[in-house]
């Protein structure tokens, strides 16, 4: 295991101490640094393996089902498709049209929550859940240091430029314009998740993805090789779970390939994560470390060490983005090399690129593979 992957890695002490002050947890502190993940006991908590110890029974059962898939001989990898920001037309284009072509609906759909979020997305997710499907949401926040935030502000104009201090956003930080903008985004997310909770939908929530990369404002600062993203994750976990009372969430840690830093470098800790779902864009769907000459990377081995259910939180080709990508590669690589993977979520296309399943090659064979779970095969509800 690389030295960079150390789950007791020092991170700066932040406003997470507010949890301890409120009687919700304890921290071991040495010279202004904490050496343990924040933990707290919830009175009357259900016995559960979920990060949220008071997660709903449906949330607990879904995690148990996803965890158990890797022991199956067939029907063990959930198929998924990411939708665009306006979910209704893209559901028709990417999911229903795919079903019309192949006779199979993908089991999971995903939508990004960002500055362009529309409440019209909620009924689409509820409807998919009610016909037996699974739902994932990726929190893609705008840069709160920008006065005029927007979806595109999540990306750094210069990935090597200094990153902002994320500790200024947490609950105990002094008031500031950027903190106000962050809180507004977080509350908007909580409102959307609350609407889904009221409908009984369990959401796989992918938080602050690819934080080991340098391209997002919450990502790794390349000069210092640090980011306080764990503190921001913990603070958001506490707020959504205990302040907003959202117990329909499975918490997904989603690192990028290890170009800038090891995939587990900013892992929030076992007690705050339910699923580990890296992103991977590669025509052959091979993770860094799987090819000759990549001995400095061992992404899959590092992810396996978490002991959590694994998945591809985003996937697609990196070169064959003209519709010629053979989607069978996804399940062939999982079956051959990454057998712990429990689901894959193929990304939607973007300008000049075709990534989505419906417009790529051999998708019918992929969805009819005996390892792949489509909507018709989802059986966790009995």
Order of all β-strands in the sheet with 11-12: 11-12, 33-34, 29-30
Structural domain boundaries in the chain: 48-377
CA angle 123, 128, 134 (to 5 degrees): 120
Q: What is the DSSP string of 303-353?
A: HHTT-S-EEEEEEE-SS-TBTT-BTHHHHHHHHHT-TTEEEEEEPPPBTTB
Which is more confidently placed, 44 or 119? Answer: 119
CATH for 48-377? 3.20.20.80
Q: Which residue has the tokens 């997904």?
A: 252
pLDDT band at 178 (very low <50, low <70, confident <90, very high): very high
Q: pLDDT tens-digit profile of 228-263?
A: 999 999 999 999 999 999 999 999 999 999 999 999
pLDDT band at 270 (very low <50, low <70, confident <90, very high): very high
Give the phi and the psi of residue 240 in degrees, each rounded to 5.
-65, -40
Q: pLDDT tens-digit profile of 78-96?
A: 999 999 999 999 999 999 9
pLDDT band at 309 (very low <50, low <70, confident <90, very high): very high
Q: What is the mean pLDDT of the chain?
A: 89
Report pLDDT for 29: 27
Structure tokens at 166: 């994320």
Torsion sign (Cα): 276, 281, 285, 286: negative
Q: pLDDT tens-digit profile of 281-292?
A: 999 999 999 999
Q: Is the pLDDT of residue 15 over 60?
A: no
pLDDT band at 312 (very low <50, low <70, confident <90, very high): very high
Share of the chain above pLDDT 90, in %: 84
Of 352, 275, 359, give the one whose Cα is nearest residue 325. Answer: 359
Contacts for 307 with CB less than 8 Å, ≥ 6 apart: 270
Q: Is the pLDDT of residue 356 over 50?
A: yes
pLDDT band at 37 (very low <50, low <70, confident <90, very high): low
Mean pLDDT is lowest, of 14-23, 25-34, 120-129, for 25-34
Does pTM top 0.75 for this prediction? Answer: yes
Q: Is the pLDDT of residue 21 over 50?
A: no
CA distances to 68, 135, 346, 353, 378 from 99, in Å? 27, 17, 15, 22, 16
Which is more confidently placed, 12 or 222? Answer: 222
**Is residue 213 within 8 Å of residue 259, measured between CB atoms?**
yes
């Amino acid at each position: 295991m690389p030295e960079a992957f150390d789950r007791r890695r020092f991170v700066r002490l932040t406003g997470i101490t507010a949890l301890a002050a409120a009687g919700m947890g304890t921290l071991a502190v040495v010279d202004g640094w904490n050496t343990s993940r924040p933990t707290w006991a919830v009175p009357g908590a259900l016995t559960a393996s979920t990060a949220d110890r008071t997660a709903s029974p449906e949330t607990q059962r879904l995690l148990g089902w996803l965890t158990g898939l890797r022991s199956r001989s067939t029907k063990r990898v959930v198929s998924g498709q990411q939708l665009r920001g306006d979910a209704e037309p893209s559901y028709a284009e990417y999911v229903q049209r795919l079903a019309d072509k192949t006779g199979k609906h993908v089991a999971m759909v995903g939508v990004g929550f960002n500055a362009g979020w529309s409440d019209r997305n909620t009924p689409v997710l509820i409807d998919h859940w009610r016909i037996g499907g699974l739902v994932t949401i990726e929190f893609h926040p705008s840069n709160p240091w920008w006065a005029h935030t927007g979806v595109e502000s999540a990306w750094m104009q210069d990935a090597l430029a200094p990153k902002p201090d994320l500790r200024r956003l947490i609950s105990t930080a002094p008031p500031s314009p950027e903190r106000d903008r962050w809180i507004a985004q977080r509350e908007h997310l909580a409102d959307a998740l609350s609407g889904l909770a009221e409908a009984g939908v369990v959401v796989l929530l992918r938080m602050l993805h690819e934080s080991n990369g340098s391209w997002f404002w919450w990502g790794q600062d390349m000069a210092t090789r640090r980011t306080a993203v764990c503190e921001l994750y913990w603070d958001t976990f506490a707020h959504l779970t205990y302040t907003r009372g959202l117990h329909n969430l499975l918490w997904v840690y989603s690192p990028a390939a290890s170009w800038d830093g090891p995939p587990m470098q900013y892992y929030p800790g076992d007690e705050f994560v339910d699923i580990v779902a890296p992103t991977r864009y590669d025509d052959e769907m091979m993770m860094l470390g799987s090819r000759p000459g990549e001995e400095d990377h061992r992404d899959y081995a590092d992810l396996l060490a978490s002991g959590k259910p694994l998945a591809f939180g985003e996937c697609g080709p990196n070169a064959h983005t003209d519709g010629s990508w053979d989607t069978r590669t996804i399940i062939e690589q999982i079956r051959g090399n990454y057998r712990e993977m429990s689901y894959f979520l193929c990304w939607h296309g973007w300008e000049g690129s075709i990534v989505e399943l419906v417009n790529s090659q051999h998708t019918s064979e992929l969805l009819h593979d005996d390892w792949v779970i489509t909507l018709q095969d989802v059986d966790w509800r009995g």
